[in-house]
Structure 1
Amino acid sequence: MTNFKIPTESEFIEADGTRYAYRKFGTQDGIPVVFLVHFRGTMENWDPNMIEPIANTRPVILFDNKGVGETDGQTPTTIAEMAQDAGTFIKALGLTQVDILGFSIGGMVAQELALQEGKLVRRIIMAGTAPKSGINPDPEIFERMNRHGGNAEDALNDFMFFFYRPTETSKSAGMASLQRIINQKKVESSDQVQQAQLQAIANWAQPKTNNGYDWLQNIKQPVLVTNGINDVMVPTKNSYILTEHLPKAQLIIYPDSGHGHLFQFPELFAENVNSFLNSTSL
């Protein structure tokens, strides 16, 4: 089996006035899986140990959505607009069917994309994410996400707090994953991305007064929902809500882990993703 490595240089495609940066690799045949990254992340924020086993079995597309990383423009302030931009990019590549893997805010975008482009999306992985009007973290968590400045040690401590549990096993695996990501990282997101995404998340989290989570019934695609046993950033209860209300959902909860479960267990997560995408059930 060929071992595909993540390209270090991006390709570009223009659509609706935006020049999107992306990296496509993996097998030539099969339905591509498009990755939607977490809060403030770029396409360089995926752990290669998780990405490469998936690329060994199917085409993989990493990209920066509008305003993020190497893609120009301004990041919008709603999840719906982010989903529209993602759909614009995917269709600009000439693709008619894709699988979607959305992590954190990327999972929120995945939900909207499935509603907007139902025929385009075949299967979805929603990792560490929440439905609209889902269970919110403590206000202190959101405030810490909004923090500016600080030194490298503060940034590291924040990242480890948000993504991993305070056990030695979780922290050790988290640091190893972070080092792999840092080794490939060249481009950071701007302050505009942070503020726009925070506004979008806040709007997404506003409580709904009618029909609760009934709208999730409109997402007809098979969905794999994943999270760590104790996600402090997007509380794990959200994953149970998604699984309960999505008509074709299954749930995997990883032990001794939190928001960054897919990076703490990159090979196992990739195995679970491949099994789900290859499945003919659901």
Structure 2
Amino acid sequence: MSKFTIPTESSYIEAEGIRFAYRKFGQETGIPLVFFIHFRGTMENWDPHMIGVLAESRPIILFDNAGVGESSGETPTTIAEMAKDAATFIKALGLEKVDILGFSIGGMVAQELVLQQPNMVRRIVLAGTSPQSGVNDPRKDVYEAMTQVGGDENDALENFLFLFYGPTETSRTAGISSLKRILSQKKVESSPQVSDAQYQAVSQWAERDPEQKYDWLQKITQPVLVTNGVKDIMVPTENSYILTVNLPNAQLIIYPDSGHGHLFQYPEQFAGDVNLFLDSK
């Protein structure tokens, strides 16, 4: 177990009328790694074991973007505006260069941030995400699980395991272990406005363009590590291949017996792969 743990209390910084909540910890020197969380998630939705391993090697910054969790403001309805808010937060901290890790919708925001602020970002990790106009046509049961509101704790658990992990006993067991670690942290819920805005933003991002050639990905020249599980049913794994083929400086890792939550299923292996990538010359 890592000697570093996610702080229980947040720090705050105000910029452009938004009071951003964040937690900075880990090593005191080096290029910070800034995390962008998944759909409907907050700072408390990261697996603390995975984060702790990464914190042994570099400064870590978790934050809630505008309107999310403990941050003030309203969540925008486009990925571009979410990226603009994230850039505002990073600039407010006085950081000239960062590494970024985006998971799911966070990976979409990360891509847009690099396009808006190419000099701000050194290296990028894109986990379980897609390019704009990627392969995003979820099955009916996946859509229902993603949008379900209400139900009891068992329903919530089954939805989480179904969406984030594979159907095997090993994947589900690892998912339950990760969920226990995540739930051990204090939880600040976001308002319904956040879910509605994020869903609208993702839907717009996912709109299919039959003429899409992904030329805009060529503008992202930084080294990129793309990761996913072998069977991601929420953001289909095919998107990870599309990103890797079209980004000029990308490498891909696909984790076995896993899905969208591969980084939580293999917390130490994933953190090790990320550290190796970020530390490479």
TM range (shorter): over 0.9
What displacement does 1:208 show? 2.4
What percent identity do the matched residue pairs reach?
Answer: 66
What displacement does 1:18 show? 0.2
CA distance, structure 1, for counterparts of residue 212 and residue 128 of structure 2: 23
Counterpart residue number, 1:145: 146
Q: Is the 8 A contact 2:39 2:195 kept in 1?
A: yes
What displacement does 1:138 show? 2.1
CA distance, structure 2, for counterparts of residue 95 and residue 202 of structure 1: 31
Counterpart residue number, 2:219: 218
What displacement does 1:244 show? 0.3
Q: What do residues 86-142 of structure 1 show as CA deviations (whole Å, max 9, x unaligned)?
A: 000000000000000000000000000000000001100000000000001324223
| TM-score normalised over the length of structure 1 | 0.97
Q: What do residues 132-181 of structure 1 show as CA deviations (whole Å, max 9, x unaligned)?
A: 00001324223432222222221111111100011000000000000000
| Structure 2 portions without partners, runs of 5+ | none
Q: What do residues 15-50 of structure 1 show as CA deviations (whole Å, max 9, x unaligned)?
A: 000000000001111000000000111011110110
CA distance, structure 1, for counterparts of residue 137 and residue 184 of structure 2: 31
Q: Mapping of 1:1-282 within 5 angstroms?
A: 3-140=3-140, 141-280=142-281
Q: Is the 8 A contact 1:146 1:198 kept in 2?
A: no
CA distance, structure 2, for counterparts of residue 173 and residue 216 of structure 1: 34
| Structure 1 portions without partners, runs of 5+ | none
What displacement does 1:185 show? 3.0
Which residue identity is paired with 2:133?
S
CA distance, structure 1, for counterparts of residue 176 and residue 212 of structure 2: 42
Q: Is the 8 A contact 1:137 1:232 kept in 2?
A: no
Which residue identity is paired with 1:261?
H
Runs in 1 of length 4+ with deviation above 4 angstroms? none
CA distance, structure 2, for counterparts of residue 272 and residue 81 of structure 1: 30
Local SS of the residue matching 1:184: coil
CA distance, structure 2, for counterparts of residue 144 and residue 162 of structure 1: 7
CA distance, structure 1, for counterparts of residue 143 and residue 90 of structure 2: 31
RMSD (Å) for aligned C-alpha atoms: 1.1
Local SS of the residue matching 1:195: helix
CA distance, structure 2, for counterparts of residue 255 and residue 137 of structure 1: 23
Which residue identity is paired with 2:175?
G
CA distance, structure 1, for counterparts of residue 233 and residue 205 of structure 2: 17
Q: Is the 8 A contact 2:103 2:127 kept in 1?
A: yes
Q: Is the 8 A contact 2:123 2:222 kept in 1?
A: yes
Greater shift, 154-163 or 259-268, is seen at: 154-163
CA distance, structure 2, for counterparts of residue 145 and residue 172 of structure 1: 21
CA distance, structure 2, for counterparts of residue 262 and residue 244 of structure 1: 21
Q: Is the 8 A contact 1:45 1:185 kept in 2?
A: no
| TM-score normalised over the length of structure 2 | 0.97
